[in-house]
Amino acid sequence: MDGSVKPAVAGKGLARTAGALAGIKVVDLTRVLGGPYCTMVLSDHGAEVIKVEPPQGDEVRDWGPPFHEGDASYFIGVNRNKRAMALDIGKPEGQAILMRLLETADVLIENFKPGSLEKWGIGYEDVLAKRFPGLIHCRISGFGPDGPLGGLPGYDAILQAMTGLMSVNGDQTTGPMRLGTAIVDMGTGLYSAIGILMALHERKTSGLGQYLDMTLYDCGMALLHPQAPNYFLNGARPKGTGNPHPNLVPYDKYPTKTCDIFIASGNNGQFRKLSEIVGRPDLADDPRFANNGERNVNRVALTLILAEAFAQHDGKELALRLIRNGVPAGPVLPVDEAMAAPHTAHREMVTELDWYKGIGTPIKFSRTKGGTRRPPPKFAQDGNDILGQLGYTAEEIAALEKSGVVHTKRRI
């Protein structure tokens, strides 16, 4: 048995095949967001992921409300398709179980403080690479093991601040602002998934695994586009511009009779079409707005005119009419309306299975369709099954529980 689950027959956004990563086994020691998000991406497409939590559990199980049977939405949102057990790997007996898990694993991913595995005597270079030469070991940390900030813990908002991302969000009235989503954590999870897949591909040639040193700091920096290239070229410090584009007009959020819409007009043809659709064809011939350069100089006047023209329209209808006529536009929707949008359903971007409801996988294959296979696990719900598959007897499992190596209930 490999612990895989056959696709269910009822639900939405469900996996209908074994998946592109079927046969890949991942031992996941990560907590919080970046690592779990990475392993959920892998599990959506068939990788067998065994989530090994510490005795106190993944702390985001408590990051609510809202909750489902004691687990917070924060945990539920990034842990589907995984099996779970709880293990104290600070103890030799726990390390022995981990070693047995790794005997058949392709990937180990963890986000302990750099040096933790080495402290326990199970570091990659000295132990894991020699004992499991094909193993891919991905470590996610805040800053890496060395350098001026080496070994320090990393948190999404702090890294948004330190890498410059916060400085280019917001505008002159707000000052630097945190992005509403944990972009550094999630970006690191995605970069880590890409790195793991690269290592798996390279292993086909070399037969060897390798170590991935993934940091929130590096990944936050990597997301600074186009601000960093602009800075490298002109030497000017990038600033937050809010909704308006610094170079293109009209490229902003505008009110309508029913909702805000966003317009992203990038050329003169689009501006002429926009002017016609909102009943102001004269704007395209006005010398103040004849080309993007003039529109940029006169953006305040144009913004006032457009706001008056848009005020007569239903926002959603206008945005749809614009985009269907080649003018980039869309309504500014709250999350609940975005989730209920017809195209969201068409793309299966809301997935459901039993009680579970979440965001579906954005990776769409023609043959090896991925998706939801099982709801997020309760704490240690699969521990006995996993240990049994590793060859432990019922008596041995009971002894491991009694000694505090294996846990079936969260340690407070």
User: Which residues are tagged catalytic?
Assistant: 185
3-state secondary structure the chain: CCCCCCCCCCCECECCCCCCCCCCEEEECCCCCHHHHHHHHHHHCCCEEEEEECCCCCHHHHCCCCEECCEEHHHHCCCCCEEEEEECCCCHHHHHHHHHHHCCCCEEEECCCCCHHHHCCCCHHHHHHHHCCCCEEEEEECCCCCCCCCCCCCCHHHHHHHHCCHHHCCCCCCCCCCCCCCHHHHHHHHHHHHHHHHHHHHHHHHCCCCEEEEEHHHHHHHCCCCHHHHHHHHCCCCCCCCCCCCCCCCEEEEECCCCEEEEECCCHHHHHHHHHHCCCHHHHHCHHHCCHHHHHHCHHHHHHHHHHHHCCCCHHHHHHHHHHCCCCEEECCCHHHHHHCHHHHHCCCEEEECCEEEECCCCCCCCCCCCECCCCCCCCCCHHHHHHHCCCCHHHHHHHHHCCCEECCCCC
> Rounded distance, CA 361 to CA 18, Å?
15
